[in-house]
């Protein structure tokens, strides 16, 4: 091999060795911060015994991958699956937040992360009430 080919090959190799890992690291840093959760459209009958907890302020229940909470004056609904570990989050009335039992991640009532390790918010759904029927959409 002559000197010219050796230098060209060495320069190409060094360039790839520097740029390649930088591209990989940059692609790993891009985190999708959009809220995550299933797309749903379902109803809940508050007269059914399985939903009795929702008749009390601070009471909660889950259905179709969504946690529904009676806030006293309205209802909120948040995706049930933690965006960090996939465990089911639960509503904590004492903290007025959602807690993941697997790694301690916490989310506020709008689904925003308040304590890691989760970095992506939970999806929040629209809840409407007509008499004893709740409709959850999102």
Which pLDDT does position 29 carry in this prediction?
Answer: 36
Peptide bond into 117 cis (omega under 30): yes
CB 76 within 8 A of CB 61: no
- Report yes or no: 117 and 98 within 8 Å, Cβ to Cβ: no
Domain boundaries, the chain: 1-30, 41-137
> What per-residue confidence (pLDDT) applies to 24?
38
The tens place of each residue's pLDDT in the chain, 138 residues long, gives 666 565 555 554 554 455 444 443 333 333 444 568 899 999 999 999 999 999 999 999 999 999 999 999 999 999 999 999 899 999 999 999 999 999 999 999 999 999 999 999 999 999 999 999 999 999
**What residues form DSSP beta bridges with 78?**
67, 124
The CATH class of 41-137 is: mainly beta
Looking at the whole model, is its pTM more than 0.85? no
The C-alpha atoms of residue 123 and residue 1 are separated, in whole angstroms, by 61
């Amino acid at each position: 091999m002559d000197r010219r080919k050796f230098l060209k090959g060495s320069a190409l190799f060094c360039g790839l060795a520097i740029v390649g890992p930088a591209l990989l690291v940059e692609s790993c840093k891009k985190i999708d911060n959009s809220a995550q959760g299933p797309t749903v459209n379902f109803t809940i009958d508050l007269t059914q015994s399985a939903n009795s907890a929702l008749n009390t302020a601070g009471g909660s229940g889950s259905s179709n991958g969504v946690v529904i909470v009676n806030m006293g004056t309205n209802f909120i609904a948040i995706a049930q699956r933690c965006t960090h570990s996939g465990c089911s989050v639960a509503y904590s009335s004492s903290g007025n937040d959602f807690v993941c039992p697997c790694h301690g991640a916490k989310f506020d009532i709008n689904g925003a992360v308040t304590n890691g390790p989760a970095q992506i918010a939970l999806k929040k759904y629209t809840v409407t009430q007509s008499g004893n029927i709740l409709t959850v959409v999102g």
